[in-house]
């Protein structure tokens, strides 16, 4: 048994950290969302005005739904890319496993911004992709929907978050005892059947974790829409950023943040329940 | 020693052979794990692959199950070439060493797995699953998850999961090695009874020679990827063809000596033989040596005076380590008879000496 003093000393730093950098900011945000700004001055009078504004103006709901659509698309695309990649690496890559694993991880070392600007260069009207399309005579003038659209945001976020989806799925696939796969084939299941009856169910915790990563990280992203989204690709975080910056309406921004936070927390709660349902150890 | 040099019991002939392993070899890179293995298994037989770890017994099992491909040779079952089929098309089922039960499925669904993936009629499945669970006495655990079961219970489920498919051949890869000693003995006798009852051919892998002796119709002893001897437990114990077999199956004394003019000499021991001159090696089981209180021997017996170095009590019997005076230590097994010390006369029958090769 550890002494009480030891326990106190050990747990003090993390508790201090959590209090200072998590609980305090959240408390401030929560409080702000019930205040208002009058002529650039914060009015500490408690009211629900900000939330009423959010409900009254359809613009907010529209952007929020677009954000969720984009996040869901990113989640789906990165699952469709990340799962087969992880499956191949874990089960069929043989001696190339280590090397391919590094290849998947390397993009994580490159700055988010650099990758964002790279997509700008690729998708722009003077960009690499349009240049190729015209060179190959597929189009005769630059295609404009590539850049500054929800499509561009989804593309960029998928590129950025696929490794985050790949990693937990890969980890859960690596944890599947290989004799289970042999047992399945031994009992007469084709590789296809084995995948859907054994491998997929046993990798569900990883798949859920990856999906949650992609969705939650996309939901709060503001750089991708800023760089490649244009006006039609604006997401909810851009609105929060504008409210905190240019507009100087911290209370309204805080109210939106509280909404996003509640959304994210309920989502995490839900996926955690699902993950428990799918873990068997 | 290759297997075809050994007389095989009448049980096995070409007509009743279920499985034929023909000159099978397996290499992993430069490492030769199996060398030219030929082995027939009769329908309804309980055959054990016995060997030390690394002898290639599990590899041979995996080749038959289809998890690995042979580097040479062929495997045939019921007149059909087996080694070219993927595992899911072979009428062979396996009980894995650590059972490999599906953790996300209940006991019932684990057992039903084979029937479902092979598209058995839906109406039949519950009855057959129930029957299989009843057979291994696990009916009351049908709804449990495998992680809730003890090792012995998981073992039974693994057995039911394999047998429910009515395979022609059941492969068992050290299925009892994870169980504690008492449970293991109990499962051994249940396994043997079950095999007799359902009549399915069992190919059993173990490194435990006692287990092999207790269960098998025949034992195939593997050594460094080659078959050392294939014979019934009694045959292999009474007539080991090599020194390795004699030492691996039970305990023995190896007597290394010389024959000259029809007399074999090994240290102080001498006896008449009808063989050509030259060096020889004999195996003499400890239980064939006995005390000779009156100092008299029959004509077909060899007598020697030995100094008891050590006595190991084993309940019903005791094992003596006896120095025959020339530095050679002979092991002698007697039925328990109280402490013994000092010098005594011992005899053994010449007929109990088995000539073996290195």
The CATH number of residue B179's host domain is 3.40.50.300
Contacts of B94 in chain A (CB under 8 A): 182-183, 186
Q: Does residue A7 lie within any of the structural domains?
A: no
CA distance B171 to chain A (A): 10
Look at residue A252 in the predicted model and tell me its pLDDT: 92
Contacts of B162 in chain A (CB under 8 A): 186-187
Contacts of A198 in chain B (CB under 8 A): 102, 104
Binary contact (A182, B100; C-beta < 8 A): yes
The residue-averaged pLDDT of A101-107 equals 90
> Would the CA dihedral through A213, A215, A219, A224 be positive or negative?
positive
B176 with B286, same domain: the answer is no
Residue B10 or residue A58, greater confidence:
A58
Q: Does residue B245 lie within any of the structural domains?
A: no
Give dist(CA A202, CA A281) in Å, integer. Answer: 11
- On the question of pLDDT at A126 being above 80, the answer is no
Look at residue B6 in the predicted model and tell me its pLDDT: 43
Q: Where is A169: in which H helix or E strand?
A: helix A150-174
Asked if B108 and B99 touch (Cβ cutoff 8 Å), the reply is: no
Give dist(CA A94, CA A89) in Å, integer. Answer: 8
What's the whole-number average pLDDT of chain A? 90
Asked if B2 and B230 touch (Cβ cutoff 8 Å), the reply is: no
Global pTM value: 0.84
B145 with B287, same domain: the answer is no
Coil vs helix vs strand at B78: coil
10-residue mean pLDDT profile of chain B (358 residues): values are 43 68 93 94 95 93 95 93 94 93 96 95 94 93 94 93 94 89 88 90 94 94 95 94 93 91 88 88 93 85 90 90 87 87 90 89
Report the domain count for chain B. Answer: 2
B347 with B260, same domain: the answer is yes
B261 with B199, same domain: the answer is no
Contacts of B103 in chain A (CB under 8 A): 180, 202, 280-281
Q: Which residues of B touch A (CB under 8 A)?
A: 65-67, 86-89, 92-94, 96-98, 100-104, 113-114, 117-118, 145, 147, 161-162, 165
B85 with B179, same domain: the answer is yes
Count, residues in chain B: 358
CATH of the domain at A61: 1.10.3720.10
Look at residue B15 in the predicted model and tell me its pLDDT: 54
**Residue A201 zone, left/alpha/beta (φ > 0; ψ -120 to 50; rest):** alpha
Q: Which residues of A touch B (CB under 8 A)?
A: 177, 179-180, 182-191, 193, 197-198, 201-202, 278, 280-281
**Last residue of some domain: B214, B239, B264?**
B239
Q: Indicate the residue of B93, B145, B147 with minimum beta-carbon distance to A186.
A: B93
Contacts of B104 in chain A (CB under 8 A): 198, 201-202, 278, 280
Report the domain count for chain A. Answer: 1
* The token pair that represents B329 in the structure block: 């230590």
Give dist(CA B18, CA B46) in Å, integer. Answer: 12
Give dist(CA B255, CA B203) in Å, integer. Answer: 34
Give dist(CA B322, CA B313) in Å, integer. Answer: 15
Coil vs helix vs strand at B241: coil
Q: Does residue A108 lie within any of the structural domains?
A: yes
- Provide ipTM, 2 decimals: 0.84
Give dist(CA B122, CA B119) in Å, integer. Answer: 8
When pLDDT is cut at 50, 70 and 90, the band that residue A157 belongs to is very high
B193 with B271, same domain: the answer is no
Contacts of A191 in chain B (CB under 8 A): 88
DSSP H helices, B199-321, are 209-215, 233-238, 243-248
pLDDT tens digit sequence for A19-46:
999 999 999 999 999 998 888 788 888 8
Look at residue B124 in the predicted model and tell me its pLDDT: 93
Best mutation site among B58, B85, B87, B93 for testing chain A: the one with the most A CBs within 10 Å?
Answer: B87
B265 with B218, same domain: the answer is no
- On the question of pLDDT at A249 being above 50, the answer is yes
- On the question of pLDDT at A184 being above 60, the answer is yes
3-state helix, strand, coil in chain B (%, to 5): 30, 35, 35
The domain of B191 spans: 3-239
Percent of chain A residues topping a pLDDT of 90: 61
Give the count of Cβ contacts less than 8 A between chain A and B: 73
When pLDDT is cut at 50, 70 and 90, the band that residue A89 belongs to is very high
B34 with B168, same domain: the answer is yes
Look at residue A281 in the predicted model and tell me its pLDDT: 57
The residue-averaged pLDDT of A108-122 equals 88
- Which of the 8 DSSP states describes residue A130? H
Rounded to 5 degrees, what angle do the CA atoms B236, B238, B244 make?
55
Look at residue B326 in the predicted model and tell me its pLDDT: 81
Q: Does residue A156 lie within any of the structural domains?
A: yes
Binary contact (A197, B94; C-beta < 8 A): no
CA distance B285 to chain A (A): 41
The residue-averaged pLDDT of A222-249 equals 88
């Amino acid at each position: 048994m550890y002494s009480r003093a030891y326990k106190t000393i050990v747990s003090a730093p993390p508790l201090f950290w959590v209090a200072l950098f998590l609980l305090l900011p959240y408390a401030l945000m929560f409080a702000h969302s019930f205040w208002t700004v009058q002529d650039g001055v914060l009015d500490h009078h408690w009211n629900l005005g900000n939330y009423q504004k959010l409900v009254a103006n359809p613009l907010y709901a529209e952007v929020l739904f677009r954000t969720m659509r984009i996040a869901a698309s990113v989640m789906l695309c990165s699952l469709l890319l990340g799962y087969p990649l992880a499956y191949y690496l874990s089960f069929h890559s043989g001696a190339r496993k280590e090397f391919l694993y590094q290849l998947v991880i390397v993009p994580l070392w490159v700055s988010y911004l650099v990758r964002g600007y790279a997509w700008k260069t690729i998708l722009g009207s003077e960009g690499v992709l349009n240049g190729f399309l015209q060179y190959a005579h597929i189009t005769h003038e630059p295609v404009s929907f590539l850049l500054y659209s929800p499509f561009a945001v989804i593309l960029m976020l998928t590129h950025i978050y696929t490794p985050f989806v790949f990693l937990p799925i890969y980890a859960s696939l690596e944890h599947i005892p290989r004799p289970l796969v042999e047992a399945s084939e031994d009992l007469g299941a084709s590789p296809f059947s084995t995948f859907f009856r054994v491998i997929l169910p046993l990798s569900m915790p990883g798949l859920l974790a990856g999906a949650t990563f992609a969705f939650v990280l996309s939901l709060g992203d503001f750089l991708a829409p800023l760089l490649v989204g244009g006006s039609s690709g604006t997401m909810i975080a851009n609105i929060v950023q504008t409210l905190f910056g240019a507009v100087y309406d911290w209370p309204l921004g805080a109210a939106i943040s509280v909404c996003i936070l509640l959304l994210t927390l309920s989502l995490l709660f839900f996926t955690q329940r699902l993950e428990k349902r799918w873990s068997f150890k | 020693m290759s297997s075809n040099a050994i007389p095989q019991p009448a049980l096995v002939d070409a007509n009743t052979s279920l499985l034929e392993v023909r000159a099978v070899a397996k290499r992993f890179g430069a490492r030769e794990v199996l060398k030219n293995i030929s082995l027939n298994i009769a329908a309804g037989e309980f055959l054990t692959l016995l060997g030390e770890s690394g002898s290639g017994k599990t590899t041979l099992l995996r080749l038959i199950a289809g998890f690995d491909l042979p580097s040479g040779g062929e495997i045939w079952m019921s007149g059909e070439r087996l080694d070219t089929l993927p595992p899911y098309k072979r009428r062979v089922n396996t009980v894995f060493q650590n059972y490999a039960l599906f953790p996300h499925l209940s006991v019932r669904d684990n057992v039903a797995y084979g029937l479902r993936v092979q598209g058995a009629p839906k109406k039949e499945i519950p009855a057959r699953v129930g029957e299989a669970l009843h057979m291994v006495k696990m009916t009351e655990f049908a709804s449990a998850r495998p992680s809730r079961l003890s090792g012995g219970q998981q073992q039974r489920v693994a057995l039911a999961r394999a047998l429910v498919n009515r395979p022609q051949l059941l492969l068992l890869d050290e299925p009892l090695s994870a169980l504690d000693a008492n449970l293991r003995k109990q499962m051994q006798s249940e396994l043997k009874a079950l095999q007799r009852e359902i009549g399915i051919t069992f190919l059993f892998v173990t490194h435990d020679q006692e287990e092999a002796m207790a269960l098998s119709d025949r034992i195939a002893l593997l050594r460094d990827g080659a078959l050392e001897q294939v014979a019934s437990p009694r045959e292999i114990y009474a007539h080991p063809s090599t020194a390795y077999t004699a030492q691996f199956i039970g305990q023995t004394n190896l007597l290394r000596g010389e024959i000259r003019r029809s007399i074999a000499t090994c240290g102080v021991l001498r006896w008449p033989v009808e063989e050509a001159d030259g060096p020889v090696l004999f195996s003499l089981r400890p239980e064939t040596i006995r005390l000779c209180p009156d100092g008299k021997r029959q004509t077909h017996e060899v007598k020697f005076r030995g100094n008891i170095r050590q006595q190991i009590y084993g309940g019903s019997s005791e094992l003596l380590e006896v120095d025959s005076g020339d530095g050679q230590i002979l092991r002698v097994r007697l039925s328990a008879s109280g402490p013994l010390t000092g010098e005594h006369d011992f005899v053994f029958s010449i007929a109990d000496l088995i000539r073996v090769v290195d």
